[in-house]
A and B are shown apart, each in its own frame.
Chain A
Amino acid sequence: MEPLSSGQIFVQVIAQFTPVWIALILFMGASAVFKKRLSLYGRLYDSPIGMVGLALVLFWVFTALMADWVAPFDHLDQFRALKNKPPGMIEEESGLAFLFGGDNLGRDVFSRMVYGSQTVMAIAPVATLFAFIVGIALGLPAGYYGGYFDTVLSFLANLVLAFPVILLFFLLVTPEIRSTPIPGTMAAVLFLIPILFFAVFIYSRFSTRPDTLAMYLIPTLLIGLFCYVHLTNLWTPLGVWMDANRLNIFVSVVFVNSPTVFRIVRGLTMDIKTRDYVAAAQTRGEGPWYIMMWEILPNARGPLIVDACLRIGYTTILLGTLGFFGLGVSPESADWGMTINEGRKLLRLFPWAALPPALAIMTLVLGLNLLADGLREQSLKD
């Protein structure tokens, strides 16, 4: 059969993403209609930059969610006839086109790009969230109490930040280190912090109302514990959520991101703790954790949300870098970084294999940065 022309490829790619377009239009349309009720997120729709950013990010979110519908092939299916073939070639058996060509094993580059988004979406936002919880849980007391506690924690944070990130990753995900109990222990500690965080968060607020306290605290602890045993692979009644590879990446991403978050939160806390409403809370005898969690933290949310967007972007690049070096990903996964590396080897001859994942990383990170810009712009307006 005749290969598709570039115009046909373009049309076909657009058509292939049809479910994503529909979801995007429905989601953003509904948000725009109800934007008055959606506070900061709603106001994003007044900023063109923020909307472009949000659209790019949502595009990849929906692509990851609906990858099975979008991708014409499975990311592992190999077709020998289409090995290193240029974009537009038709796969004889199914009659479907290899829209972005085939790679050195005869897999569809387009489908691999689509499935690659799943790896990023599964790790980057959640790992960033964990990094934030760890950073907040340590940054709040450091900024609030100051003194030696702050000095020691800040020093440790600087230590982690000063260590070359890539080298740190190499160390954390190399098989030699993985065989030691270090990653396991780190995971056990890092995953414990969010549970403690939420327990303290709830306890400090409702300790004056025992009945309400039990209503919130018991479910939180149960769910927390359930997630904890799964994530650390101690007991997995619901199957393995994260294999050892992924757990390693996850832990390392949290580990290198949380010191920066720690420093931001510490700075914000030091500023907000001088406000009168903090003094008012102190004069009515509130405990330090109530003040940190309920008086200070909510007022630090603006800068933190903006930073979270940027940080998911950094994490995406970091995951790409890790994949590029083949760290922490299984050899056959569709990870973008790894695909780029594989494509790189034959870049001069067959450039189509490396370009799509690179463009994918670029658009996602660009979207996140624009979204952060939009959020910052909107949160500064009254």
Chain B
Amino acid sequence: MAKWEYDGPVLEIDNLSISFFTRAGEIPAVMDFSCVVQPGEAMGLVGESGCGKSTVALGVMQDLGKNGKIVGGSIKFKGRELNEMSEAELRDLRGSEIAMIYQEPMASLNPAMKIGRQLMEVPMIHEGMSKDEAYKLALEVVESVRLPDPARMLNSFPHQLSGGQQQRIVIAMALMSKPSLLILDEPTTALDVTVEAGIVDLVKDLGKKFGTSMLFISHNLGLVLETCDRLCVMYSGEAVETGSIEAVFDKMQHPYTQGLFRSIPLPGADKNARPLISIPGNFPLPHERPPGCNFGPRCSYFEEGRCNADAIPMFEAGERHETRCLRFQEIDWNAPPAGAISQQKTEPGDVVLKVDDLKKYYEVAASALFSGGDKKVVKANETVSLEAREAETLAIVGESGCGKSTLAKVLLGLETATSGEVVLENKGIGSTPIEKRDTRTVADVQMVFQNPFDTLNPSHSVGNQIIRVLEKFKVGKTQEEREQKMLELLDLVKLPRAFAKRMPRQLSGGQKQRIGIARAFAGAPKVVVADEPVSALDVSVQAAVTELLMDIQRESRTTMLFISHDLSIVRYLSDRVVVMYLGHVVEMGTTDQVFAPPYHPYTEALLSAVPIADTSISKKRIVLDGDIPSAMNPPSGCPFQTRCRFKSEVPGGLCEKEVPPMRGLADGHYVKCHLSQEKLDEMEPVIVLHAAE
């Protein structure tokens, strides 16, 4: 089927409704959804998990599986109705006119086929192109997604590439047939921030270069701001607000959009003066949606008898700006949020935890089959030194493979240090494995885990899991005392006491994470290591869990080591920041020092890479080349020299020869870099906040 010309919008979705049919009956996943994507336009679909954004994308692809069915409305692609097309017509369209890019690059590539063949297949099938021509085109496209050495790339298998490279190949594959519409379903969620920044840049440029329209699905408002022209906010199966980026970000007309923006840490937020405001309540399940406005029960502008009377239609709120709110004209959108309580800043106390020159090496046998032979050493931590005070939040920032998890394992005693010392209140614990630690020390260092769906054992009830922790830490003398204490812990994390009897699968992600927090604080710990405790949660829940964590910490004066790659949240809640790269601490200082120049070149790139959902700031774009080197085979000299943009400014190739020393810049601010003081002083801030208009 030849591609056809059409002048109108690339995609017109009108009153689309999609339902899934299960044993429990019909579950409406998308209701009354409309949107228009013009040629060359990038449309963002934003919402929390379960809001139906991916279902819309699958609906456009007409790939809803056995249970899914379009029950109403129309989807027009370049003027032709997709709902009425035959399987053969759709097959022609998919991959040639509409291409889709998924979250997991490895799952989109065939592991048994070389990259080249997978790419060449696309034009060979759709356009009947010859093999040679297809190969030439593949080379061209791989080059245009900025991959080095295209010929070698085409000759390799997917597993030989890194995650970022794989995702570029998937994008290249989508571009092989010059589609009119590209659907991207969370294309960067599985990638590191600096790698994500590269992909985002690429996607933006490609849109301009090829004039491809895009449907960009994401839960990250910052990412949508950077990539899209327009966006559509979805909540519980409905579009609640549609408009241009500027209109929705700056002149929002729906309470849910407002709530979302108030619950993400923007540069102005501060944990003491301007805390985050979470949206109360929980996301309604598809079969438990309230009558009238779906957001009603969680909305602070809710009006009984009006908002819950009838289904709410979309209202025109401006030029190509619509909202699904009855009261959008009555609400004063600029009023300051109610219920924000500013807190006293807590003063940090004495040093509780001191890590001195910590090294952790792993030995890996060169071949798993025959031991002996060459041993390789993975240097997970190299000369890590840091201090944490009582009641202080110390953030450890870095991407995957930087050694932050290894550091946590050494602190918790799951691994022992190769050399160096970890001191917890004058007691060396760095070389004591957990079995040899006494109960008090074990209870003193606890952890909150990242993945809420993995942190609780699915086979035991919530109450029993907490009681077990209390038993282990010898809290309470009798079982009754422990039960009482367990109920108090549930109060502490603001969960109803009835939850003690529940099984973990009956809890939502945020609730599970609260139980995880209760468990960590059960033995009155001195130090809590929080490993990305909110990154797997939905935006509106993140704020609530973050605030809870801060409240408990404030009251118990616990030291918190907050491990994260998300600089927005780090800026919001931490007192001091440690930036790690490939096992080295490259920068350390108070939050203000680290977030303002002079920076370590890596910190600078990291700051630039994190998407920020605020139209009033401008960022300097610094995109790092390549990927993080493997810890098995680290570069010589400075660990960051392979990707550093300042490398040429250090005379004598010093960066490749020597690991730079840790130098003090200001009180408590240290940087591991060879750059001269003048060069560091010349650095400009990455993030500039425009004066409020």
For residue B459, which residues in chain A have a CB less than 8 angstroms away from its CB? 298-299, 301
In the complex, chain A residues 262-285 whose Cβ is within 8 Å of any chain B Cβ: 275-277, 279-285
How many angstroms from the CA of A279 to the CA of B455 in the assembled complex? 9
The answer to whether A299 and B457 touch across the interface, beta carbons within 8 angstroms, is: yes
Does B250 interact with chain A (Cβ within 8 Å)?
Answer: no
- Looking at A276, A284, A287, the one whose CB has the most chain B CB atoms below 10 A away is A284
In the complex, chain B residues 415-464 whose Cβ is within 8 Å of any chain A Cβ: 434-435, 437, 439, 442-443, 445-447, 449-451, 454-460
Nearest A-chain residue to B516, judged by Cβ: A280
Q: Give B692 Cβ to nearest chain A Cβ, in Å.
A: 42
A274-310 near B? 1/0 per residue, CB < 8 Å: 0111011111111100000011001101000000000
For the side of the interface on B, what is the size category? 20 to 34
* Residue from A209, A279, A284, A285 within 8 A of B449 (CB atoms): A279
Inter-chain contact total with CB atoms closer than 8 Å = 61
How many angstroms from the CA of A285 to the CA of B437 in the assembled complex? 8
* Residue from B414, B439, B479 within 8 A of A209 (CB atoms): B479
The answer to whether B460 and A298 touch across the interface, beta carbons within 8 angstroms, is: yes
The answer to whether A283 and B471 touch across the interface, beta carbons within 8 angstroms, is: no
How many angstroms from the CA of A282 to the CA of B458 in the assembled complex? 17
* Residue from A276, A284, A287, A301 within 8 A of B442 (CB atoms): A284
For residue A295, which residues in chain B have a CB less than 8 angstroms away from its CB? 457
Does B412 interact with chain A (Cβ within 8 Å)?
Answer: yes
* Residue from B434, B458, B474 within 8 A of A283 (CB atoms): B434
> Assuming the A-B contacts A275-B454, A277-B454, A298-B457, are A283 and B414 also in contact, with contact meaning beta carbons closer than 8 angstroms in the complex?
yes
How many angstroms from the CA of A14 to the CA of B133 in the assembled complex? 74
Q: Give B424 Cβ to nearest chain A Cβ, in Å.
A: 14
The answer to whether B473 and A284 touch across the interface, beta carbons within 8 angstroms, is: yes
Nearest B-chain residue to A278, judged by Cβ: B457
In the complex, chain B residues 364-416 whose Cβ is within 8 Å of any chain A Cβ: 412-414
Does B469 interact with chain A (Cβ within 8 Å)?
Answer: yes
B454-487 near A? 1/0 per residue, CB < 8 Å: 1111111000000001011110000100000000
Does A94 interact with chain B (Cβ within 8 Å)?
Answer: no
Does A208 interact with chain B (Cβ within 8 Å)?
Answer: yes
Does B168 interact with chain A (Cβ within 8 Å)?
Answer: no
For residue B437, which residues in chain A have a CB less than 8 angstroms away from its CB? 285
- Looking at A46, A212, A276, the one whose CB has the most chain B CB atoms below 10 A away is A276
Q: Give A130 Cβ to nearest chain B Cβ, in Å.
A: 24
Q: Give B258 Cβ to nearest chain A Cβ, in Å.
A: 34
Nearest B-chain residue to A300, judged by Cβ: B459
The answer to whether B455 and A276 touch across the interface, beta carbons within 8 angstroms, is: yes
A238-254 near B? 1/0 per residue, CB < 8 Å: 00000000000000000
The answer to whether B446 and A277 touch across the interface, beta carbons within 8 angstroms, is: no
The answer to whether A284 and B472 touch across the interface, beta carbons within 8 angstroms, is: yes
Does B571 interact with chain A (Cβ within 8 Å)?
Answer: no
Q: Give B131 Cβ to nearest chain A Cβ, in Å.
A: 42
For residue B450, which residues in chain A have a CB less than 8 angstroms away from its CB? 276
B180-222 near A? 1/0 per residue, CB < 8 Å: 0000000000000000000000000000000000000000000
The list of the 5 closest CB pairs from A to B, nearest first, reads: A298-B459, A276-B454, A285-B442, A276-B449, A277-B457
Binding site for B on A (CB under 8 A): 46, 208-209, 212, 275-277, 279-287, 294-295, 298-299, 301
Complex A-B: 24 CB contacts under 8 Å: A208-B471, A212-B479, A275-B454, A276-B450, A276-B454, A276-B455, A277-B454, A277-B457, A279-B414, A279-B447, A279-B449, A280-B519, A282-B412, A282-B414, A283-B434, A283-B445, A284-B443, A285-B434, A285-B437, A286-B472, A295-B457, A298-B460, A299-B457, A299-B458
